[in-house]
Amino acid sequence: MKWGSIAFSLLIIVGLACNKSAAPSKVINWSGNTFTENGYTLNWKSNDVTFAVGLKRQLIETFFIIYPKLVKEFNANSAKTVLFEIDTAYKGVAATSGTKVVYNPKWFENNPRDIDVVTHEVMHIVQSYPTYNPWWLVEGIADYVRFKYGVANAEGGWSLPAVTANHKYDNGYRITARFLVWCEHRKPGCVKAFDSALSSNTYNANLWKAILDKTIDDLWSEYLASPAI
């Protein structure tokens, strides 16, 4: 697998170190399969013998930087042990089930700088909602978290999209995430309120008006008219 330039590797290392938390000091044996830091354990499984050790290290470092922050911010009862699996048979980008995240090594071969796939996926572990509905808000919150906490979004070529007339709040992922950023500016704490409602299975459409004083459709109309964030 090709892995970018030395300059980019240095940029990631500096970015990780400057993201309000130092890279985990006790994670040394990068060829191993179990890594523990500050009460968290990450198990590693891979059937791709060509997966770059340098990339493996960056994915693991990102986990130890991001995951404890998200646990503290959103769900203190989140699992302390997580599995990352690199699976050549998986054809998506990444998927989370329970406490396991499966990654497609081909994605990283073609997009070696997209480290913050980790950030999005481990937020799903933290979410651990009793139901996936509404899916667009679940995925929107995960991408909102990637936008807010990601360690290398710009380097990975990831950003929130410009707003177009074809967008809708229930498109999910980055489109919904951008709307949530706008809503958060309007009412700080609203994303955590939605997350809490999803966690307790009490979310409904009326919550938007209860939290932001307007229906989601009215908010979306205002957003389209003035989408700056």
pLDDT at residue 138 in the model: 98
| Residue 4 pLDDT | 41
**Which pLDDT does position 28 carry in this prediction?**
55
pTM of the predicted model over 0.85:
yes
Task: Determine the length of the chain.
Answer: 229
50-80 tens-digit pLDDT: 999 999 999 999 999 999 999 999 999 999 9
List pLDDT tens digits, range 42-54.
Answer: 999 999 999 999 9
All domains of the chain, ordered by start, with CATH? 6-127 (3.30.2010), 135-225 (no CATH)
Q: 15-41 as b/e, with b when 16 or more CB fall inside 10 Å? A: bbeebeeebbeebeeeeeeebebeebe
- Residue 98: what pLDDT? 96
DSSP letter string, the chain: -----HHHHHHHHHHHHTSSSPPPSS---TTSSEEEETTEEEEEEES-TTS-HHHHHHHHHHHHHHHHHHHHHH-TTS-SEEEEEE-TT--SSEEEETTEEEE-HHHHHH-TT-TTHHHHHHHHHHH--S---SHHHHHHHHHHHHHHH-SSTTTTT--PPPP-TT--GGG-HHHHHHHHHHHHHHSTTHHHHHHHHHHTT---THHHHHHHSS-HHHHHHHHHHS---
Q: What is the pLDDT of residue 27?
A: 45
Token pair of 1 as six digits: 């697998």
- Cβ pair 26, 78 in contact under 8 A: no
Mean pLDDT split into 10-residue runs, the chain, 229 residues: 39 44 52 92 96 95 97 97 98 97 96 97 97 96 98 96 96 98 97 98 96 97 96
d(CA 46, CA 65): 22
Of 197, 221, 219, 213, nearest to 133 (Cα)?
A: 197
Give 4's Cβ-side CA count (13 Å radius).
21
Burial class, 189, CB count within 10 angstroms (exposed 0-12 / middle 13-18 / buried 19+): exposed
- pLDDT of res. 32: 85
